[in-house]
Structure 1
Amino acid sequence: MKADLFTFDLPPGLIAQVPAPSRPASRLLVLDRASGELAHRTFADLADLIPPGDLLVVNRSRVIPARLFTVAEDGRKPSEILFIEDLGQGCCTAMVRPGRRFRPGASHPLPGGAAATVLEVRPDGLRVLRIEGAPDSVEVFRQHGEMPLPPYITSRESPPDRYQTVFAREEGSVAAPTAGLHFDDPLLDRLRQRGVGIGEILLHVGPGTFKPIETGEIEDHVMHAERFRIDPDLAAAFAATRARGGKVWACGTTTVRTLESALRPDGALATGWQETRIFLRPGHVFRAVDHLITNFHLPRSTLLVLVAAFATRERVLEAYRQAVAAGYRFFSFGDAMLIL
């Protein structure tokens, strides 16, 4: 399919720069994928929409303050380092800017007296860095880094915790699983009291999630690899939900990707650490997920293609057109969709 089929017009003023005043106060556009009907709700209504006995699955990954600036030298502007993955023994992979300053052997002073030395330039442009003068490669980012907000968010007014979900516990993402940003603890409590099961996956979101499709055909796009983990308690809850005829509600595209990748031919979830390069696009038959909670995504993104695969391209783009007309807020800090 042509990548140009996954575009839409969006006024810049609808790109959310700050989150809603409270997490569940976001608007919720409900799309019935069978009929194409749309309904306008608020996210707090979700507690009335998920039936007792169903299972809601969320991603518990926590965002690292992964954006770090070097100490300026010789009157030059600081360079930028975006942490990607801890390699152990004080080393990590990172995206850097400007790249010409990060050739093998180059060393850059960091805040707090640490330094980053370039060990390798990988074919994809990532650098392998050794962080010296810090307990490990992550600690200097924890102490001195900034939240890696997407480039379309130019405001810095929001407190850092609004770019974390309330169930974020295990550190490792460089971008938030944004569909989860709309939940707060009272809403989760209402769901539990209603009899909704809440399970967790772990997938650390990498920068490839937001890489646009640059090929003419979506089938030619090379999907990034991501590691994820399914714990036995989630596998058991998933099996029990299916056995009683309940539905599985995925919070976010990372959760969909994880569940669809982990599903075995016998209908059970494989447990433990796994890796996926799955590209969920039109034609995929969804077997693990029945309903999807998601934000509004960028044009020509693999995330938009995933949503189109779930609900058909025509219905998703029509829903986006209606959302634009109704003034919904888009992207990471924006409003949400529920696809039934």
Structure 2
Amino acid sequence: MKLSDFDFDLPEDRIALRPARPRDAARLLHVAKGGALGDHTMLELPGLLQPGDLLVLNNTSVIPAALTGERPARDAGGGGPARIELNLHTRMSADSWRAFARPAKRLRPGDVLQFAAGLSALVLEKADGGDIALEFNRSGAALDEALESAGNPPLPPYIASKRAPDAADRDDYQTMFSDPARKGSVAAPTAGLHFTPRLFDALAARGVNHTTLTLHVGAGTFLPVKTENVAEHTMHAEWYEIGEDAAAAINAARAAGGRIVPVGTTALRTLESAADAHGTIKAGSAETAIFITPGYDFRITDALLTNFHLPKSTLFMLVSALAGLDVMRGAYAHAIAQHYRFFSYGDACLIERR
């Protein structure tokens, strides 16, 4: 497969900069088996599911991983002060993170960055692509508390380049079922942003149940594919956990003939990583670097609720694996023509496995 197979043209005005209000007012494109398309809203989701179906949600909590700091002037002509933008992406220890820095060319190992609320960090290492390693002057819970004060919601570049994060994003970029005890994501599981209490009530009345798992969203899901041969791309690992109750609920739903419908690609990747060859889920935690492309044999996923994804992204490859590349290219062309809103704050798709 070639990277160009997963490209498409998206008008700039289709990129959502704010979510729908209320959340469940977002539009919903139903992609049925065989490729038939239906235009709906999220409030119509219960009618597109069957009694006994099980939604699987990612309850991770997004941390304020976007930081703005200053590198002080260096001595002896080493350069004046520099403003540095950081996006934390991988926690290495209680006091250290890896981050993407802009402009990384202004940094070198040994620099100390100063942030708000008395937070500072030593640059330990600088790698390709603006990737740096940092050691903070706080550790554990104290570092988490400082990040809450100094950081901002880690909005994707296609939003952050057009407007600054604000107070509304602290709520908008967190699902209503995120667990404060499950902090660790540096991006939201955005399919979950569409849910509201009234939508959950309507799903329950329909006989559609739900359960939760945790995958801390890291850089791996979102890093661009840079190789024309898709098979040469390597995913970064992300940590997940499935509890005993969730595993039991998933296995019971399958045994009763219900469909398993992950909410978001993070939930799907977790389930497909944890399922055995028979589609049975066992509780536990691990890391996954699963890369799902057309030709993948799904073990447990029957349908997927997800947002619209970027051209040439690993996530567009995943949905193409689920429904077929031609079907998804047609679905996206329809969505563009019908002015659906794309990406993290955009509208949703319910995609049935072919």
Q: TM-score, normalised by structure 2?
A: 0.91
Indicate which of 140, 149, 155 corresponds to 1:143.
149
Indicate which of 137, 142, 162 corresponds to 1:132.
137
| Structure 2 residue 39 is the aligned partner of structure 1 residue 40 | yes
Shift of 1:122: 4.9
Note closer, same or farther for the CA distance 1:136–1:85 as it changes in structure 2 (3 Å cut): farther
Partner of 1:164, secondary structure, is coil
Distance across 2 between alignment mates of 1:257 and 1:213: 18
Give the aligned partner of residue 188 of structure 1.
200
Give the aligned partner of residue 13 of structure 2.
13
Percentage of matched positions with identical amino acids:
45
Indicate which of 297, 304, 313 corresponds to 1:292.
304
| Structure 2 residue 71 is the aligned partner of structure 1 residue 66 | no
Contact 1:130–1:137 at 8 Å: present in 2 too? no
Bigger mean CA offset, 264-273 vs 62-71: 264-273
Aligned residues: 339
Partner of 1:78, secondary structure, is strand
Indicate which of 331, 338, 343 corresponds to 1:326.
338
Contact 1:252–1:293 at 8 Å: present in 2 too? yes
Indicate which of 208, 223, 243 corresponds to 2:255.
243
Distance across 2 between alignment mates of 1:131 and 1:168: 26
| Structure 2 residue 245 is the aligned partner of structure 1 residue 233 | yes
One-letter amino acid matched to 1:40: D
Contact 1:59–1:255 at 8 Å: present in 2 too? yes
Contact 2:71–2:112 at 8 Å: present in 1 too? no
Give the aligned partner of residue 313 of structure 1.
325
One-letter amino acid matched to 1:41: H
Bigger mean CA offset, 129-138 vs 45-54: 129-138
Distance across 2 between alignment mates of 1:20 and 1:231: 32
Partner of 1:206, secondary structure, is coil
Shift of 1:72: 6.4
One-letter amino acid matched to 2:34: S
Give the aligned partner of residue 178 of structure 2.
168
Contact 2:219–2:236 at 8 Å: present in 1 too? no
Instruction: Give unpaired runs (5+ residues) of structure 1.
Output: none
Indicate which of 98, 101, 109 corresponds to 1:96.
101
Contact 2:153–2:169 at 8 Å: present in 1 too? no
CA RMSD of aligned residues (A): 1.8
Contact 2:277–2:299 at 8 Å: present in 1 too? no
Contact 1:90–1:136 at 8 Å: present in 2 too? no
Shift of 1:111: 1.2
Note closer, same or farther for the CA distance 1:166–1:160 as it changes in structure 2 (3 Å cut): same
Distance across 2 between alignment mates of 1:254 and 1:23: 20
Distance across 2 between alignment mates of 1:331 and 1:78: 28
Contact 1:6–1:305 at 8 Å: present in 2 too? yes
Give the aligned partner of residue 347 of structure 2.
335
Distance across 2 between alignment mates of 1:3 and 1:88: 35
Bigger mean CA offset, 120-129 vs 37-46: 120-129
Note closer, same or farther for the CA distance 1:124–1:262 as it changes in structure 2 (3 Å cut): farther
